Amino acid sequence: MAAHFEKCLTETDTEGKLSLPIDWLGILPQFDLGSHHEVKIYASDGFGFCWEFRCSTIKMGRYRKPVLQPEDWLKFVDRKGLEVGDKIILDSDPNDSIGRHFRIRAQKFDHEDEKWVDV
């Protein structure tokens, strides 16, 4: 099953971690909550770069929510020059040889052309 997540970034996203929707727990590699509280995901960005993100879960009431940890996520934010209001798109498709293929796109709004542009 393919998955798609799109978000305009907030201050928390540009200065800390990125929260993913709870339903992505079924998309991400399996968490072993007994001994490991994080998994690694690798995402290509469309410009030939592959990014490594450590994803862990945080407790939100009685639910667990996946988050991309700041150490890896903020490298991506910095490299792409992302700010509050910019957008990220995270997609995932099943892949027979690697399990899942993740793609991440960062976008800024071009006010002159009035459209989102990948960075």
Q: Which pLDDT value is given to residue 36?
A: 60
Q: What b/e string do you get for 37-70 counting C-beta neighbours within 10 Å, with b at 16 or more? A: eebebebebeeeeebebebbbeeeeeebbbbbee
Q: Which pLDDT value is given to residue 97?
A: 61
Give per-residue pLDDT as tens, 67-93: 999 999 999 999 999 999 999 999 998
Tokens at 65, concatenated: 């929510």
48/86 Cα distance (integer angstroms): 21
Give per-residue pLDDT as tens, 6-59: 999 999 999 999 999 999 988 888 876 665 678 999 999 989 899 999 999 888
Q: Which pLDDT value is given to residue 64?
A: 85
**pTM of the prediction?**
0.89
CATH number of 3-118: 2.40.330.10
Query: Cα angle vertex 10, ends 54, 12, to 5°?
Result: 50
71/52 Cα distance (integer angstroms): 10
Q: Which pLDDT value is given to residue 100?
A: 83
94/62 Cα distance (integer angstroms): 29
The pLDDT > 70 percentage for the chain reads 92
Instruction: Identify which has the larger pLDDT, 100 or 21.
Output: 21
